[in-house]
């Protein structure tokens, strides 16, 4: 009997620990391409290479079709920078998964032709970033510079 209770307690504590872990590690809400609407320009988000999002500290997710729209949205103070828990940018190469903006390497090039002409791409992998810079004749830019 005592063993059984111990077992139950153990499993409960494991579940709690896992769920706490899950909460702490914020995962970005997936963008539903072709259905979700950009918070800023109201266009339907359809290009996975540029779809970005931010999550506020209260847990609300705002989605955008272009990094430029996300920047403009924050600059227009619809959400202030202080209220944002995390900014997410898509990896231009590979499966276009969303990663935290701080982990990404950014490239600006007019030949990118993003939906709202922000023309910025983000790369998780440094090698891909370098490769794209040569291919697109882009200019390396840095996420921190947007907030100075």
Partner 1 sequence: MKCPWLKHLSLSLFLLLFVQPALATTYYVGAKHATTRISDALIKASDGDTIIVSPGTYKEGNIAIRKSIVLLGEGYPTIDGMKTYEPLSIYAANVTIKGFKISRSGQSSMEDFAALKVYNTRQVVIEDNILDDNFFGIYLQNARNCIVRGNRLQAYGRIEQRLGNGIHAWKCDSISISNNKIVGHRDGIYLEFVTHTQVVDNQSLNNLRYGLHFMFSHDNAYLRNAFTKNGAGVAVMYTKRVLMEDNIFNENWGDAAYGLLLKDITDSHITHNHFTNNTTAIYMEGGIRINMHRNNFQGNGWAIRIMASSTDNFFTQNNFVANTFDFATNGRLQLNTLSNNYWDKYEGYDLNKDAIGDVPYRPISLYSMVVEKNPTAMLLFRSFMVMLLDRTERMIPTLTPEDLKDDKPALKPFPL
Q: Residue numbers of the site for partner 1 (CB under 8 A)?
A: 33-37, 41-44, 46-49, 111, 113, 135-136
Based on CB atoms, which residue is closest to partner 1, 34 or 59? 34
Q: How far is the CB of 26 from partner 1 (least distance, A)?
A: 24
Q: How far is the CB of 93 from partner 1 (least distance, A)?
A: 8
- Cα–Cα distance measured from residue 104 to residue 126, given in angstroms and rounded to the nearest whole number: 9
Based on CB atoms, which residue is closest to partner 1, 81 or 113? 113
Check if the beta carbon of residue 93 is closer than 8 Å to that of residue 127.
Answer: no
- The CA-CA-CA angle for residues 41, 42, 44, to 5°, reads 115
Burial of 57 (0-12, 13-18, 19+ CB in 10 A): exposed
Q: How far is the CB of 119 from partner 1 (least distance, A)?
A: 13
């Amino acid at each position: 009997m005592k063993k059984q209770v111990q077992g139950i307690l153990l499993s409960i504590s494991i579940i709690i620990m896992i769920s706490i872990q899950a909460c702490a590690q914020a995962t970005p809400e997936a963008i539903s391409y072709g259905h979700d609407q950009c918070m800023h320009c109201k266009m339907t988000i359809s290009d996975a290479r540029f779809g970005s999002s931010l999550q506020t500290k209260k847990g609300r997710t705002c989605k955008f079709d272009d990094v430029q729209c996300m920047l403009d949205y924050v600059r227009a103070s619809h959400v202030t920078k202080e209220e944002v828990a995390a900014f997410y940018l898509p990896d231009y190469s590979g499966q276009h998964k969303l990663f935290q903006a701080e982990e990404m390497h950014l490239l600006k090039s007019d030949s990118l032709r993003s939906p709202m002409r922000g023309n910025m791409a983000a790369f998780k992998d440094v090698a891909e970033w370098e490769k794209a810079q040569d291919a697109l004749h882009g200019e390396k830019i840095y996420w921190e510079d947007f907030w100075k």
